[in-house]
């Protein structure tokens, strides 16, 4: 089992969600986050004074999938979140040691 985490542009969230559903994903957890990568932040001007906004709003998606689905899920996110402009985000994959469905107590791939 793998944990796939993706950071995407907030306005791309619906497209990514649709693409993941189409790829057969059962569930996603989404959080609003802020951060910076190579895109950096931006500046805002209030009453003529400039303020540097270092952390730009992004959306983080987290989903646990079976090893066999990893490539399809990455492909779906990559295609749907891509705008071709700087700041499109990142996807990373980590191994998951244990997964438990709280309601039934099922464990491992059965709990996905």
Partner 1 sequence: MESGNIAWVLISAALVLFMTPGLAFFYGGMDRNRNVLNMLMMNFYCVLIIPILWVAVGYSLSQTPFDNDFIGGFDSFFLKDITVAGDGMSLAIVAFLGMFAAITPALISGAVADRMKFSAWAIFVPVWSLLVYVPVFKWVYGGWLADRGSIDFAGGTAIHVNAGIAALAAVMVLGKRKSAPTPPHSMPLVMIGTGILWFGWFGFNAGSALAANGAAAQAFMNTFLAAAAAGLAWILIEWLRDGHPTNLGAASGIVAGLVAITPAAGYVSGPSPIFIGLIAGVICCYAVRLKHKFGYDDALDVVGVHFVGGLVGSLLIGFFANPSFFDGAFMEGIFYGGSAKLLLEQAIANGAAIVWSFVLTYGIMVALKKTIGVRVSEESEAGGLDLAEHGETAYHGAQ
Specify whether the backbone of 89 is left (phi greater than 0), alpha (psi in -120 to 50) or beta: left
Does the footprint of partner 1 cover residue 11 (CB under 8 A)? Answer: no
Find the DSSP H helices in 23-101: 70-80
Cβ 102 to partner 1, closest distance in Å?
A: 25
Cβ 44 to partner 1, closest distance in Å?
A: 6
- Pick 53 or 75: Cβ nearer partner 1: 53
CB 101 within 8 A of CB 44: no
Pairing of strands 42-46, 49-53: antiparallel
Question: Which of 31, 45, 68, 95 is close enough to bind partner 1 by CB under 8 A?
Answer: 45
Does the footprint of partner 1 cover residue 44 (CB under 8 A)? Answer: yes
Does the footprint of partner 1 cover residue 47 (CB under 8 A)? Answer: yes
Size of the site for partner 1 (CB under 8 A): 8
Return the number of other C-beta atoms located less than 10 Å from residue 65's C-beta: 24
Question: Which of 29, 37, 42, 51 is close enough to bind partner 1 by CB under 8 A?
Answer: 51
Q: Dihedral angle at the C-alpha atoms of 25, 21, 17, 72, nearest 10 degrees? A: 60
Binding interface with partner 1 (CB under 8 A): 44-49, 51, 53
């Amino acid at each position: 089992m793998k944990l796939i985490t993706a950071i995407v542009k907030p306005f791309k969230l619906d497209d990514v969600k649709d693409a993941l559903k189409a790829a057969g994903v059962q569930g996603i957890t989404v959080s609003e986050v802020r951060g910076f990568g190579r895109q950096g932040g931006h500046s805002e001007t209030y009453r003529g004074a400039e303020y540097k906004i270092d952390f730009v709003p992004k959306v983080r998606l987290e989903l646990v999938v079976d090893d066999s689905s990893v490539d399809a899920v990455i492909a779906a996110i990559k295609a749907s979140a891509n705008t071709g402009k700087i700041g499109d985000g990142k996807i990373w994959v980590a191994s998951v040691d244990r997964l438990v469905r709280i309601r039934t107590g099922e464990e491992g791939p059965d709990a996905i």
